[in-house]
Amino acid sequence: MTAHAHTPGTIGPNSITRMAQALTHQQGEAVTARIFEAAGLMHYLSEPPTQMVDEKGVTALHRVVRETLTPEEARSVSLEAGRLTAEYLLANRIPKPVQTLLRLLPAGPASRILLTAISRNAWTFTGSGRFQVNRDRSLELSITGGPICKEIQAHEPVCDYYAATFEHLFRSLVHKNTTVRETACGATGASSCLFAVSWDV
């Protein structure tokens, strides 16, 4: 994976552009415009960002999505946006020879290589938050202080965008049966958002 220079408190533009794409696809242009206007991001609909963006805008966007749509609709939009982000990374950020190598390797070694690359570039999707990999018993990813759920209070995990991005990358590069499930979330009061990663071998 390659990335731009790191500026603290910023995040990659996919967290906005792919949400706009998924929202427009599922909810239409009028609802998308209303959500982006409420989040203070209306300018990004006419001029989508191509560089790192302030993570506060990403936090506001996900909050307004949750406030405007039903939980089921918000989840569906976030899942699509996550898959679109993974597709972008596969098309533009992960070198094709690396992808070929990962697909040839057994799932264990492939996952370690992929997670090393993800960890190295974690600031592009966690902003000022922290990303960690835990392999004590099973594979678990954690994001502490991430921007997506920072202003959301919910009874169930809401970081579907991250879960879908991780899952699509793993299914494409590590194992086709990978599932990624968020088991804890800052929106429910947890100290970190936790994602359990598993696959059938």
Instruction: Give residue-wise pLDDT tens across range 13-25.
Output: 999 999 999 999 9
In the predicted structure, residue 49 carries a pLDDT above the cut 70: yes
Q: What is the pLDDT of residue 4?
A: 45
**The pLDDT value given to residue 137:** 84
pLDDT digits (tens, 9 = 90+) for 53-107: 999 999 999 999 999 999 999 999 999 999 999 999 999 999 999 999 999 999 9
Residue 130 pLDDT greater than 80, yes or no: yes
Give domain limits for the chain. Answer: 10-198
pLDDT of residue 201: 62
Quickly state the pLDDT bin for 136 (edges 50, 70, 90): confident
- Thinking of the domain 10-198, which architecture would CATH place it in? Alpha-Beta Complex (3.90)
| Residues of the chain above pLDDT 70, percent | 96
In degrees, to the nearest 5, what angle opens at C-alpha 191 toward C-alphas 186 and 192? 65
* pLDDT score at 6: 58
Task: Report how far residue 152's alpha carbon sits from residue 147's, in angstroms, rounded to the nearest whole number.
Answer: 10
Query: Three-state DSSP class for 190?
Result: coil
Confidence of residue 1 (pLDDT cuts 50, 70, 90): very low
Q: What is the mean pLDDT of the chain?
A: 95
- Phi first, then psi, for residue 198 (nearest 5°) are -150, 160
Q: Nearest-CA neighbor of 78 among 156, 174, 188, 190?
A: 156
